[in-house]
Amino acid sequence: MVQLIPSSEEVMQTLKETGAFREGHFIYPSGQHTPHYFQMPLAFRYYDTARVLAVALSRKFRLENEISSALPRVAIISPGPGGIPVAFGVRDALEAEQIYWAEREQGKRMFRQFLNRGEVNPCIIVDDIIRTGTAIRETAELVKELGAPIIGCGAIVRFTSAPTKLNGVPIKSLVDFDAKWYAPEDCPLCKEDVPAEHVRF
């Protein structure tokens, strides 16, 4: 039988091979230390890899009757620039009619496109990675203000510490990753004198 959706292990191997997932000793702007670092755009710089990941995620959405029955009158929405390649790939795979993306400006998330209430189709919010869920929750509030129902949500990678649902809608992912975070004084990598690299989201 042909495997339509790659396993979590296969997806992680792809992310490693493209440099989108690295292991080591990393320090985030928050000051937290971690032994892993995702830089998802590195996977999406390759068209074939981007298509495989986006199509795999889209197939998870197609399994939901509410989504498959709504196609093609669906909007794919990204919470920020990082999710735009995922959004375009999922939109293409699902042949959805609309695509929108938001971004943070002066501390507030907003749509760059001018949108009127009632003109956005039932939507699927997608991102490259969900770490805390803040971005998708803020995007859900924007969508709610526009009067559009959320029928799906997902990402290539979801940290297990992030929500499993968005407004009652299950969050789909290709990988559920058990992230490790340490305060500087508790970091085992520091105690082992592992060289650290400062990174950003």
What residues form the annotated binding site for 5-phospho-alpha-D-ribose 1-diphosphate?
127-135
In the numeric block, the tokens 């981007």 are attached to 50
**Amino acid type, 129:** I
DSSP state of 200: -
Cα(159)–Cα(131) distance, integer angstroms: 5
CB burial of 116-125 (b: ≥16 within 10 Å; e: otherwise) equals: eeeebbbbbb
In the chain, DSSP assigns E strands to: 21-27, 33-38, 75-78, 98-105, 108-111, 123-130, 150-159, 165-166, 169-177, 197-198
Annotated binding-site residue numbers: 127-135
Cα(11)–Cα(106) distance, integer angstroms: 35
Q: Cβ distance 62 to 33 under 8 Å?
A: no
- Show Cβ contacts of residue 179 under 8 Å, excluding neighbours closer than 6 positions: 34, 36, 131, 159, 160, 161
